[in-house]
Amino acid sequence: MSAVVEVKNLRKIYDDVEAVKGVSFRVEQGRCFGLLGPNGAGKTTTIEMMEGLIEPSGGEISFFGSPLNKESLKEIGIQFQHTALQDFLTVGETLDLFGAFYPNSASKQSVMEMCNLIEIENRRHQKLSGGQKQRLLLALALINDPKILFLDEPTTGLDPHARRNFWDLITKIKQQGKTVILTTHYMDEAEYLCDDIVIMDQGAIIAQDTPSRLLNQHFSGAIIRLPIENLGSLDISEFGRPFGHHHVDIDAKDVEVSISNLLEKGVKLDGLQVKSANLDDLFIKLTGHQLTEAKKS
Ligand SMILES: Nc1ncnc2c1ncn2[C@@H]1O[C@H](COP(=O)(O)OP(=O)(O)OP(=O)(O)O)[C@@H](O)[C@H]1O
């Protein structure tokens, strides 16, 4: 498959912080590619270098086989985490305004249909709900009919219903053949949307592949989750790894065998859960800390 974007040994150093420590990956045509990681992992810095917004300290970025340049930037649409919009403009007027910046913009009607904005075309920006604002920001990112769409934490702050709606929109956009590159720290979002993922922690890549290959590679069978007090004075590391402060996760190739072993050792089974592994579990396994909390070091 052809790479629409390729990043090689990309680095960014801010004064005393090495925010991105030599990352390399390829994004393939028509795929949804996710950059995952906790706060401070270097996701935004990486994506902003790819968008041409900040200068790398080292490494290479190429679009369609050529180094990042003004022409390649015409092929991208960016949905920023925050965009200052004029409160007194309506949804339709905002799209007209942004469309006028581009010689070859997409039709306003098609973008409004795609992003479910038709019914609120005449509503002023200040009257929009969080989900509606996010859909307008997505429409603005699509107004130049880009081949590659960048989304930086697109559903942060949205309620669960608005998040699901947004995911459906992204799926529709992908079906049009566009390549989507997103950052998120929501693992369910990545599992739902992404074909390929890169997991970053402290500026470096700690895993990259498709979500299902990564899960198959690191887990076989199920995870048994138990309240930590069930272990009594037994050593957690003998069984598995901590999940938060109150639970222990135990990898179980065969759940029945694992439960018999636990009973033999005198472990209580109250509050036992059996679950399949997800990307959150993978992150904890790889780093020893949860995705929602950056490593304190
Ligand atoms: N302009 C800057 N000047 C100095 N340090 C910066 C700057 N921007 C980011 N950093 C630092 O670089 C590191 C990576 O930040 P970055 O915003 O890329 O992480 P992130 O994974 O996107 O996190 P978040 O999910 O919180 O947005 C952090 O330690 C951050 O404090």
What is the Å distance from ligand 1's center to 60 Cα? 20
The two structure tokens encoding residue 144? 């130049």
The answer, yes or no, to whether any atom of ligand 1 lies below 6 A from the CB of 184, is no
pTM exceeding the 0.95 threshold for the entire prediction: no
All residues at 6 or more sequence positions from 222 whose CB lies less than 8 Å from its CB, including other chains: 252, 255, 274, 275, 276, 277
> What pLDDT, on a 0 to 100 scale, did the predictor assign at position 149?
96
ipTM value for the complex: 0.96
Query: Whose C-alpha lies nearest to ligand 1, atom 30?
Result: 40
**Angle at alpha carbon of residue 77, lines to 75 and 28, rounded to 5°:** 65
What is the Å distance from ligand 1's center to 187 Cα? 20
pLDDT per residue over 120-131, tens digit each? 999 998 888 888
What is the Å distance from ligand 1's center to 236 Cα? 34
The answer, yes or no, to whether any atom of ligand 1 lies below 6 A from the CB of 185, is yes
Ramachandran quadrant class, 129 (left: phi over 0; alpha: psi -120 to 50; beta: rest): beta
The answer, yes or no, to whether any atom of ligand 1 lies below 6 A from the CB of 40, is yes
Q: Give me the phi and psi of 173, to 5 degrees please.
A: -65, -40
| Probe residue for ligand 1, chosen from 45, 199, 283 as the CB with the greatest number of ligand atoms within 8 Å | 45
> What pLDDT, on a 0 to 100 scale, did the predictor assign at position 98?
87
Nearest atom, ligand 1, residue 48 CA: 18
Q: Find the DSSP H helices in the chain.
A: 43-50, 70-73, 91-99, 108-114, 130-142, 160-175, 187-193, 211-218, 255-264, 279-287
The C-alpha atoms of residue 117 and residue 136 are separated, in whole angstroms, by 7
Look-up of token digits 């979002």: 189
- Partnered with residue 180 across adjacent β-strands are 32, 149
The residue type at 7:
V
> What pLDDT, on a 0 to 100 scale, did the predictor assign at position 295?
43
**Residues of the chain predicted below pLDDT 50:** 294-297
The answer, yes or no, to whether any atom of ligand 1 lies below 6 A from the CB of 39, is yes
> What pLDDT, on a 0 to 100 scale, did the predictor assign at position 62?
94
| Rounded alpha-carbon distances, angstroms, from residue 65 to 69, 171, 190 | 11, 26, 27
What is the Å distance from ligand 1's center to 20 Cα? 9
Q: Which of 71, 68, 20 is nearest to 41 (CA)?
A: 20
> What pLDDT, on a 0 to 100 scale, did the predictor assign at position 291?
58
